A and B are shown apart, each in its own frame.
Chain A
């Protein structure tokens, strides 16, 4: 599956993807049907800075899950909550039939999920959303993440490792102790660079991404967890003709396209389609489509 269908030879630096190519890339993202299963918690542990790592046995979901997809979770005790909660998949393993989630304690839903212990049940709906395409032209991908935004990047890195696609990451956080997923990315062979807000000497993300983009060995970038990083990535993608995807977020009721609640504004070139649905058009949108201002 070639991302945007172009090869290294035909693509001119500085030239944005052709509309036809973009359409082709979107076509390649058709997801498989979702499942709803009662999963079993394999482990659920605090991961520092208010984050939790939840591993759930949910075989059909794990088997079908492709990079860039998400799941909706719901604990058996859900009280007066109505919506299940969406989470990007951090890792999925068809062999063991597990999916892993990294989440931050935010409110009632994540509090109930954080309280789950090994052996308890959790309802899993997924995989949902459109998978992201990976290049097959010999070039690699650049992963850009902050906070829990590292989740989809680890899943993408899994796929890159399996397919022999090179990956480099820029992982950002406020402080060094808040960096998430760095070890897991490294274990998957990703060349990880970190940047923290408290490091006054760190070069601006745009400068880093621009320098990497210029190297010619990267096909595109994936960004999650920060608008600032997304803007930096978009600039670098435009400047050097890379493809890009940014993960968007919205309150979701269903996760599979029937409530129309998860609309996010998009750049439709002044056209008549100003919104995309984060759950079925995303969660990863082409970086020129997403509004990241």
Chain B
């Protein structure tokens, strides 16, 4: 390869080894089929489906999405055909991609999550579960991830139902993200995904009513990155919990900010819509950065921007945090 060496892009997220620190965000890639002709999905660190819910769901009434400055607001409402369709029609494709398979599950109760976790536990070829605890849709129920107690309850129920690695996907709109992150880890999560969308809305000033069919939705895209970056920074500074960052990544620079803040990997959501090649471009950009700085392993920059960092392990040595994994 011209320009010299091949940096090692692999990262370890709790029990999960990924070949690269970049993967799609749930709900922003389907199961990958629509983009499979565009690039080799196998170069991604993992593939993640759109959150599968316990049964068939039509999704929310239109209008479902709305564009704002450097952002979008969605209230798609988790449309889907349910677990059986997922197992028959999506999981086999995800397995065929040749990377880690992370299955995003959701539900309206602890029992929903536990049942789906048990079902996934029986399937071959799944490397981990991501729990969508944080959908900002209050119509059916308040997101679990707004409360440390509810978060811990779901994680515990899932932990009992499966031996698979569990990633808890947190909500950004909380007053103390670290306490909720800690509760999820204490309840048995192996890693955290930080974060989901920010509750938001838009109003049609001519019609004088909300633009979205459900009135409110979740904000995502470039505008949220500085805010989610600070959440990742807080958690990585306080806890020894593996964090997957998710919010507004559309370039390698965005991903590098998150890695330097302490994230082990990043997810790409909204950016896939406007540029389906975002994920491979982010991976290439990270590789270029490492080459330019003569860094052999991406793991050695993880958390590098955190204060009091003492070694290259990525583990922040800041006082006040709890070491969850020695």
Contact = CB atoms under 8 A, between A and B. Distances in A.
Interface of A: 33, 36, 74, 80-84, 125, 250-251, 253-254, 256-265, 272-275
A250 B62 contact: yes
A274 B61 CA distance: 9
A80 B70 contact: yes
B200 interface: no
Interface of B: 27-30, 34-35, 37-38, 50, 56, 58-72, 74, 76, 79, 221-222, 270, 272-277
Contacts of B76: 259-261, 263
A259 B74 contact: yes
Nearest to A252: B65
Contacts of A253: 65, 67, 72, 74, 270, 273-274
A36 B38 contact: yes
Nearest to A274: B58
Contacts of B65: 251, 253, 259, 261-262
A275 B221 CA distance: 25
A253 B66 CA distance: 9
A251 B58 contact: no
Given A258-B28, A259-B74, A260-B59, A83 B69 contact: no
A250 B67 CA distance: 13
Contacts of B63: 250-251
Given A251-B67, A263-B64, A258 B273 contact: yes
Contact of A254 (B60, B61, B79, B273): B273
B67 A254 contact: no
Contacts of A261: 64-65, 74, 76
Nearest to B211: A251
A257 B27 CA distance: 11
A257 B65 CA distance: 13
The dominant DSSP class at the B interface is loop
A21 B125 CA distance: 39
Nearest to A72: B274
A82 B34 contact: no
Given A74-B274, A263-B76, 7 more contacts: A82-B67, A83-B273, A253-B72, A253-B74, A259-B28, A261-B65, A263-B62
Contacts of B67: 81-83, 251, 253
Contacts, number: 91
A253 B75 CA distance: 13
Contact of A257 (B34, B58, B62, B221): B34
A258 B29 contact: yes
The dominant DSSP class at the A interface is loop
A63 to B, nearest CB: 16
Contact of B272 (A33, A84, A258, A272): A258
B270 A273 contact: no
Shortest beta-carbon contacts, A-B, top 6: A261-B65, A254-B273, A80-B69, A253-B273, A33-B37, A80-B70
A82 B68 CA distance: 8
Contacts of A82: 67-68, 70-72, 221-222, 270, 273-274
Contact of B79 (A125, A250, A260, A265): A260
B58 A272 contact: yes
B274 A264 contact: no
A84 B274 contact: yes
Contacts of A254: 272-274, 276
Instruction: Name the residue in B34, B64, B221, B222 with the highest tally of chain A Cβ atoms < 10 Å from its Cβ.
Output: B64
Contact of B34 (A250, A251, A258, A273): A258
A272 B56 CA distance: 9
Contact of B66 (A251, A272, A275): A251
A22 to B, nearest CB: 21
A256 to B, nearest CB: 5
Contacts of B70: 80, 82
Instruction: Name the residue in A36, A256, A258, A272 with the highest tally of chain B Cβ atoms < 10 Å from its Cβ.
Output: A258
B79 to A, nearest CB: 6
A259 B28 CA distance: 6
A159 B65 CA distance: 34
B30 A275 contact: no
Given A82-B72, A261-B64, A256 B59 contact: no
B249 to A, nearest CB: 13
A273 B58 contact: yes
A292 to B, nearest CB: 14
Contact of A256 (B71, B74, B276): B276
A83 B273 CA distance: 7
9 contacts: A36-B275, A80-B70, A82-B273, A251-B67, A254-B272, A258-B29, A259-B76, A259-B273, A275-B62
